[in-house]
């Protein structure tokens, strides 16, 4: 039996089907629009944000990692916090070229202290005979002369610093305060041991095993 002749109508039908099949099964990369080599790679979606405390006088948040096109989105002052997530390689000295993603751009990692998200700590009203060690959970916790925010302000306790708390006090509004002791003294520098009262809600009592 002789094969049917490949006339013009049949040729166009076969060629059209082949072209459609090639388009359907072609790799996505072949169909994608070529990327401009000067275009900055699209940043992945970031969700696991953590607060980071600013250690320098101020830091700049940029809209790009490209030093030739980036613009400052905002600046953040010392001891304020920025939400950061992810790590990216950007401009900087060889020892540290890591940048963090922010909700509106990028910030250089060297000037930041990443913090664990704040969670309300266990609050103690009885510290025992010796007391306990407590760790600061927020970027800055205020310390006062007395267990009352209307008393003279004495000092800022920074995130991660540890202090010896010797007693607890519950004020008239039900808030717990810790009395912290700094035993350091120096006659040459005219520094005497000090006591500062701090709101317990900003501190984590440390376990004996730590």
pLDDT digits (tens, 9 = 90+) for 133-152: 999 999 999 999 999 999 99
Please tell me if the domain spanning 50-114 has the same topology as the one spanning 132-205. Answer: yes
| 132-205 maps to CATH 2.30.30.40 | yes
Q: CA-to-CA distance for 196 and 210, rounded, in angstroms? A: 23
Q: What SS3 state is found at 11?
A: helix
| 50-114 maps to CATH 2.30.30 | yes
Q: What is the pTM of this model?
A: 0.69
Q: CA-to-CA distance for 92 and 88, rounded, in angstroms? A: 12
- Domain coordinates of the chain in residue numbers? 50-114, 132-205
What pLDDT is stored for residue 183 in this prediction?
A: 72
Strand partners, 136: 203
- 7-55 residue pLDDT tens: 555 544 555 554 444 444 444 343 444 444 455 556 767 778 999 999 9
């Amino acid at each position: 039996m002789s094969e049917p002749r490949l006339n013009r109508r049949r040729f166009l039908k076969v060629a059209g089907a082949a072209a459609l099949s090639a388009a359907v099964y072609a790799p996505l990369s072949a169909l994608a629009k070529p990327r401009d080599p000067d275009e900055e790679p699209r940043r992945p979606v970031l969700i696991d944000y953590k607060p980071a405390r600013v250690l320098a006088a101020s830091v700049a948040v940029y809209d790009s990692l490209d030093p030739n096109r980036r613009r400052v989105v905002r600046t953040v002052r010392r001891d304020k916090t920025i939400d950061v997530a992810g790590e990216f390689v950007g401009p900087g000295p060889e020892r540290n070229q890591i940048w963090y993603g922010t909700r509106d751009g990028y910030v250089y990692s060297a000037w930041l202290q990443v913090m664990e998200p704040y969670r309300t700590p266990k609050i103690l009203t009885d510290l025992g005979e010796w007391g306990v060690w407590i760790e600061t959970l927020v970027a800055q916790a205020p310390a006062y002369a007395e267990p009352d925010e209307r008393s003279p302000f004495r000092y800022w306790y920074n995130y991660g610093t540890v202090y010896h708390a010797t007693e607890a006090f519950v004020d008239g509004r039900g808030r717990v305060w810790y009395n912290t002791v700094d035993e350091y003294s120096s006659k040459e520098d005219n520094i005497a041991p000090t006591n500062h009262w701090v709101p317990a809600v900003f501190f984590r009592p440390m376990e004996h095993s730590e």
